[in-house]
Amino acid sequence: MFRNLAPPKCHFHLLHLVNPFYSMVPSALVHENRIKEALGSTDLISEYSNMYSKICYAILFFYASESFVWQQDRSGSSNVCTTPECVSAAARLLQNIDPKVEPCENFYKYACGGWLEHHVIPETSSRHSVFDILRDKLEIVLKGVLEAKSDQDRDAFKKAKTLYNSCMNETLIEQRDSQPLMQLIDSIGDWPVASEDWNSTAEEAWSLEDTLATLTSQYHKKVLLDMYVWTDDRDSKSHIIYIDQPGLGMPSRDYYFNDGNYKKVREAYLQFMVSIAKIARKDRNLTQDDDRVMEEMVQVLELETDIANATSPAEERHDVTVLYNKMTLTELQESFNFNGFNWTRFVTGVLSSVAVEVKPEEDVVVYSAPYLEKMNNVLAKHTIRTMQNYLTWHTVMERVSSLSRRFRDTRAHYRKALYGTTVEDARWRDCVRYVQSSMENAVGALYVRETFAGESKRMVGDLISKIQEAYVETLEELSWMDDQSKQKAREKALAIKEHIGYPDHILEDNNVKLDEEYAYLNFSEDYYFENILENLQADAQKILKKLREPVDPDMWIIGAAVVNAFYSPNRNQIVFPAGILQPPFFSKHQLQALNFGGIGMVIGHEITHGFDDNGRNFDKDGNMLNWWSNYSAEHFKDQSQCMVQQYGRFTWKLAGGQNVSGINTLGENIADNGGVRQAYKAYMKWLEREGEELRLPGLDMDHKQLFFLNFAQVWCGAYRPEYASHSIKTDSHSPLEYRVLGSLQNFGAFSEAFQCKPGTPMNPDMKCRVW
């Protein structure tokens, strides 16, 4: 979700975001999925779905009204809420249900069966869910504010709109065609496969250290090595250099070795590589040597496969205390001198771009010791020519989406193999996403001004306090944790800092901080490609400069126009952007059963991340510090292992019958289980204080059942098989269905609310609980 403002390890979010192929600034928080395109024609399926929804809601409104009259006559007094918001909520809940399914058999299918029947995955999407629909609606709002013209716009807004307009200027992008790409290739040392000038002389002058330094500092491109600056895990007030293993061209290492759909993706990836190289040769007026191109790109894929094999799989990267290895630059050189690589030259080259000097005693944190140990053998196997081809390919690949149509068309086969999508999004959606991800605060301000009710901040803050209190009370129920560790957990929970909605300064007209954030950017509506490069360089340098700056404890880790939520262990901070503070998660007008089951569960989920298998390693101040007794630590592992095994037994047919990885999803599963438990406890206490709520019209459900129903329906969604195969290897969250089933199977209060008999699928004898 971010523009690499942090390493992926540093933040935990509520839902994995899919944005196939629109690679903008490097980002751990990229977004997506869509409904019908609001600019142009609507396909038949979308049109049918919209018509069906309108008819269904009209019928439900009538039914709800009749039901209200009947209940009022029967009881003599109204116990049913008939406000428009309640009727709308009842209609939504009813429409999503499949009444043919028994709740105690499969609550997800009961709660979401109707939703799945009424929704078809758009051709542009790899996954379609409640989250994705909310994002689609948010993007329509952003489109409106970015296209609105105003003479009163402040500088930040003007720059965001200029960037958006440059992205939308397809006519000029087509006219410029490959020109900006060729200039980029020249600036990073050429592309041997598409050059007749690359020879032995060029190889002699070539330096891996200098090339990687240029890519890191000027283009924010992390290839072969990932060097970044972030908060020191062991000192949350300071920044430090991190060295980690890089990302790969394909989503995970599994695509390089596995058969089945993964092999199909691998073959499509090679075809994509070859197609772009051929275009580059043609546009440079070189002879079309297809055999040579294929041979060289196969060599690139072999190098990338060796790199993938050297990386550690996700299952081996869960213990941050093991990953963290602090050493000096001198010690780094002595420990990992692969193929004569000069670490000082590389690090100095990167940081010289922001005029930061480093000395041999500069501290660095190595997060990827096993990878670095293997790199000597990897690099020794491959020629300089192949390495430069590889580095340039990775840089070019990320820019294809910014070029003319003939470049973008080359990825269609790869996109279909990887995500199952056959149609690209409307151009405006791509442009909205790019501007939102690269100018989060500017776009966030435009969004909040347009849609967000200020009162929501206070109400959500009150919910956070109630759920923090519930978490603290829950500690007393845990027999596996001793008093010493409970006290430390209590202190950490109460010290969690919250960010709700948006940072205040982005709405303050007299506060220059927002404009200053983008003062270094000078966009042109005529040069979209160059605007992107300027953004990449600015982002890279913004991060690198932090090395000599103190940590800002109040910095927002994400923008306001985002449908997600986050926890940062380095800051012990939870964030709930304005984008998620809407129905079905939250509304000041809907029943508290729905608010606690929606945003309440989200709040509990993020709080629990502070105590999952990774967050538990950090103290209340965000420092990696062992505050656990040996007794509690061992029992935490035992309790967690129960969940590893439980979720590892879920078999996902859509992903070719693969089982969910209980190890990779452990942190999110702990958070899901803790979140729903804490939110429910907080809601029960609210009922004790405020009294029982009115019922919803047309729904024969009490307030406890409504809590669980809204919780489940937040996760309604469908995947394409190709994306399921991708998600099961790359997503730290369990598939949507199993997030619901796993959490509720472990929670006795759910079985009580729906009267599920012991031994039924939703009330198994064996239950897991961490928090």
Domain 178-402 CATH class label: mainly alpha
Beta strands in 88-245 (DSSP E): 127-129, 226-232, 235-244
- Residue 163 phi, psi dihedral angles, 5° rounding: -60, -45
Q: Which amino acid appears at position 265 of this protein?
A: V
pLDDT at 78: 74
pLDDT at 18: 59
Under 8 Å between Cβ of 602 and 576? yes
- Is the Cα torsion angle 548, 550, 551, 557 positive or negative in sign? negative
Tens of pLDDT, residues 106-160: 999 999 999 999 999 999 999 999 999 999 999 999 999 999 999 999 999 999 9
pLDDT at 71: 39
Please tell me the distance from the alpha carbon of residue 352 to that of residue 208, in angstroms, as a whole number.
17
Tell me if residue 365 falls in helix, strand or coil: strand
What tokens appear for 393 in the block? Answer: 């390919």
Question: Could you give the residue numbers annotated as active site?
Answer: 606, 672
Regions in the chain scoring below 70 on pLDDT: 1-12, 17-77
Please tell me the distance from the alpha carbon of residue 288 to that of residue 282, in angstroms, as a whole number.
7
pLDDT at 493: 98
Q: Which residues pair with 12 in a beta bridge?
A: 567
Q: Give CA 536 to chain center in angstroms.
A: 19
Q: Give CA 735 to chain center in angstroms.
A: 14
Please tell me the distance from the alpha carbon of residue 572 to that of residue 93, in angstroms, as a whole number.
35
Distances (CA, A) of 279 to 294, 528, 532: 13, 20, 22
Largest Cα separation within the chain, whole Å, is: 94
pLDDT at 323: 97
Q: Give CA 406 to chain center in angstroms.
A: 29
From its phi and psi, is residue 656 left (phi > 0), alpha (psi between -120 and 50) or beta? left
